[in-house]
Amino acid sequence: MSDTAALVEQSDDTPPSPFHRIADFIALPRLSGLALSPDGRRLVTSVATLDAEGKKWQSALWEVDPAGQRDARRLTRGATGESAPVFTPAGDLLFTSTRPDPATTESGGDPKPALWALPADGGEARLVLQRSSGVSGVAVAADTGDVVVVASTMPGAADAEADEELRTRRKDAGVSALLHESYPVRYWDHDLGPAVPHLFWIGALPAEDVPGTSATTPQWRDLTPDAVPPLGSGSDLAVSPDGRFVARSEEVPDGPAGRRSRLLLIEVASGETRVLVDDPQADVSAARFSPDSERVVCARESASTYAEPPDHTLLLVDVATAETRELTPDFDRWPSAPQFSADGTAVYFLADDDGRHAVFRVALDGSAPEGNAPVRLTDQGAYSDLQVAPDGSALYALRSGYDTPPVPVRLDPQAPGQDPAALPNPGTISSFPGTLRELDATASDGTRVQSWLVLPEGADAASPAPLVLWVHGGPLMSWNSWSWRWTPWVLAARGYAVLLPNPALSQGFGQDFVRRGWGEWGDAPYTDLMAAVDAAEALPEVDETRTAAMGGSFGGYMANWIATQTDRFRAIVTHASLWHLDAFMGATDASYYWEKEFGDPLTEPKRYEQNSPHRYADAIRTPMLVIHGDKDYRVPIGEGLRLWYDLQKRGVPSKFLYFPDENHWVLTPGNAAVWYETVLAFLAEHVLGEEWRRPELV
């Protein structure tokens, strides 16, 4: 049996789709990331599946045929998994893994990711770089093969030995304390410090051991000896194809407790660092070099204010002079993930657009028929991990949507309106328990509100389906792509219709659409959602008497707000939700970001008072399921605890699903299964009128 067949093997009692049994859904292969070889003949992706114990997802590297002629084949089988693939100019495949070094018998401790290489001509993967703190990122110069890696380093550690010594002393002394001298102190689900990500120049990788020769020793040259604690992982970097430069984003103070990012350029030979783009009114990131290493394209996000939401554009920057030109000045969407065409005459990028996440192309010299206006190359779907063929003949990407999880596709680099078929891969799902349609509604101010609607099999006028309103997070995002965490098909397999609306604040519908909800979360976003529900309930396939609402993060905020504003729903599920806006603002991991929109709660309390759901707790009549993870630093657990207490003391029928070791999401298979089981049981009780059935393992 082939590897692909083994992933999708079914037995005689297999249900009609993998969404009918939660265990089957949890076990589906999950694709992420793409790497294209220098000759354009090999395309590699990571495929995550359940490990042997079923307790975590474990990734392996698979090769996909760019021509679409051959089945995908598995490349790696490490016991701990592999990820972050990237090719060298010679065709070797680099990846990170915590697999043990076969050259040593030592074991124990907490294994850290190291850098491995799979030879272009086949054979066993070999260990090429390791560090006691682990390797968290890697970038390769496309022409020279020089390598830069990201690894965390303790303050004051001059080399790997000193770094390890400091870590050991801290551990032996039983010290877990962190001393902070600036804001912030944590990020999403982890504490910042004391170690900080550094960029290390490795140059050419050590040669493979060959009998009669000696392998070279890697040189770890620190390009960022003065690195300070960033919010992210330090992986927002790019290496010029000729290996002369490294571009990276750096976070700098913005006011007493704020942060913003600027773009730096490091000259590798001298180690000299200079500022390439520094805009006091914006964040600059996502740099990519041109094929000739002379220019950089990057993304600029203007700083939001009390009056205005952020806006996004792309910048073209001359490496030698730092002269900057805006590429998308009149483009009323938010471009991201830019990169150059193979000949350097155009830039490809991604942007949300009308409920899709599309691929765009913009010419740099205006000589194309469309001039300097971006051209949308894709029709349906949401695209990520864009790869440009070195000869310019094709683009490759992962395409997803509510009709497909991420799968690899091949695109024409010029043609607009494409909807490509998937290349053979181990992650395609062939059967879904229903149908997908697009639904439009009209808001009270006449604005169009776009939604996706999943209808279960068998829903018709004679047998209408109960409806679940599912509100997206963000709030500056939109429903447009597949999500393993928020999958409507699991609900559809139980007979629910699922409505996925894009209300005010959603991106991809223009700047004015975002402005409609800016600082007024309880106004246009709420009325847009109700307009979308009205449109769905008007369909003969939907039962307007049996409805529920749910959401996570900002969607959880909206679920809470809905609970205080209407009793039209039979049940509400709120996950990682904002309840007390003032309390949230001071405890979240990036308070300064949200305060730009809402103002200082001490001097500008208006928006907090008008939009905080907790102020209207007495109005709640709808049963609520509260879900929260203790390691959630974006929406701290205090929000869930306060909401739960406020519901209980008011006698509102409610339950609290608490995850002591999960963060803003639910990342382990067992907890993900329990999440769906509990949500389904709660909806069955209150929407379908069934007896409450407590999930067995909670």
Q: Output the DSSP codes for 400-462.
A: EETTEEEEEEEE-SS-SSB-PPBPS-TT-----SEEEEEEEEE-TTS-EEEEEEEEETT-SSS
Please state the domain count of the chain. Answer: 1
Indicate the pLDDT class of residue 213, thresholds 50, 70 and 90: very low
Q: How far is CA 461 from CA 2, 464, 543, in A?
A: 45, 6, 9
Question: What pLDDT score was predicted for residue 102?
Answer: 75
- Span 36-43, mean pLDDT? 97
pLDDT at 13: 75
What is the domain-level CATH number for residue 476? Answer: 3.40.50.1820
CA–CA separation, 161 vs 149, rounded Å? 17
What does the pLDDT read at residue 219? 85
Domain for residue 673, yes or no?
A: yes
- Give the pLDDT of residue 3: 60
pLDDT tens per residue, range 524-581: 999 999 999 999 999 999 999 999 999 999 999 999 999 999 999 999 999 999 999 9
Dihedral sign, Cα of residue 555, residue 557, residue 559, residue 565:
negative
Share of the chain above pLDDT 70, in %: 95
Is 631 a member of any domain?
yes
The pLDDT confidence band at residue 391, using thresholds 50, 70 and 90, is very high
With a cut of 90, say whether residue 216 has pLDDT above it: no
pLDDT at residue 105, rounded to an integer: 54
Q: 123-132, 213-222, 317-326 — which is least confidently predicted? A: 213-222
Q: How confident is the model at residue 372 (pLDDT cuts 50, 70, 90)?
A: confident
Question: Quick check: is 651 in a domain?
Answer: yes
- At 58 the pLDDT is 95
Is the bond leading into 194 cis (omega within 30 degrees of zero)?
yes
pLDDT score recorded for residue 398: 98
Predicted pLDDT at 70: 97
Average pLDDT, the chain: 94
Q: Report the number of secondary-structure helices (H) and strands (E) in the chain.
A: 12, 37
Q: Is the pLDDT of residue 640 over 60?
A: yes
User: Which is more confident, 110 or 605?
Assistant: 605
Residue 215 in this model has a pLDDT that exceeds 60: no
Q: What is the mean pLDDT of residues 17-33?
A: 97
Q: Is residue 559 part of a domain?
A: yes
Q: Is 256 a member of any domain? A: no
Which H or E element spans position 300? strand 295-302
Instruction: Identify the band that residue 155 occupies on the pLDDT scale cut at 50, 70 and 90.
Output: very high
pLDDT-derived band at 9, boundaries 50, 70, 90:
very low
526 belongs to a structural domain = yes
Give per-residue burial for 231-254: e unless 16+ CB within 10 Å, then b: eeebbbbbbbbbbbbbbbbbbeeb
Per the CB < 8 A criterion, the answer to whether 357 and 351 are in contact is: yes
DSSP states along 330-393: T--S--EEEEE-TTSSEEEEEEEETTEEEEEEEESSS-STTTTS-EE-B-SSEEEEEEE-TTSS
Q: Which tens digit of pLDDT belongs to each residue from 241-296? A: 999 999 999 999 999 999 999 999 999 999 999 999 999 999 999 999 999 999 99
Tell me how far CA of residue 244 lies from CA of 207, 234, 389, 495, 582, in angstroms: 21, 20, 23, 58, 48
pLDDT of 11: 47
**What DSSP string runs through 28-57?**
S-EEEEEEE-TTS--EEEEEEEE-TTSSSE
Full residue range of the structural domain in which residue 560 is found: 454-686
- Among 157-161, 366-370, 384-388, the range scoring the smallest mean pLDDT is 366-370
488 pLDDT higher than 70: yes
Task: Of 646, 478, 491, 603, give the one whose Cα is nearest residue 22.
Answer: 491
Residue 469 resides in a domain: yes
pTM for this prediction: 0.95
Name the nearest CA neighbour of 419 among 394, 447, 444, 400.
400
Instruction: Tell me what the mean pLDDT of segment 212-228 comes to.
Output: 77
Q: In this structure, is residue 501 part of a structural domain?
A: yes
Average pLDDT over residues 587-614: 97
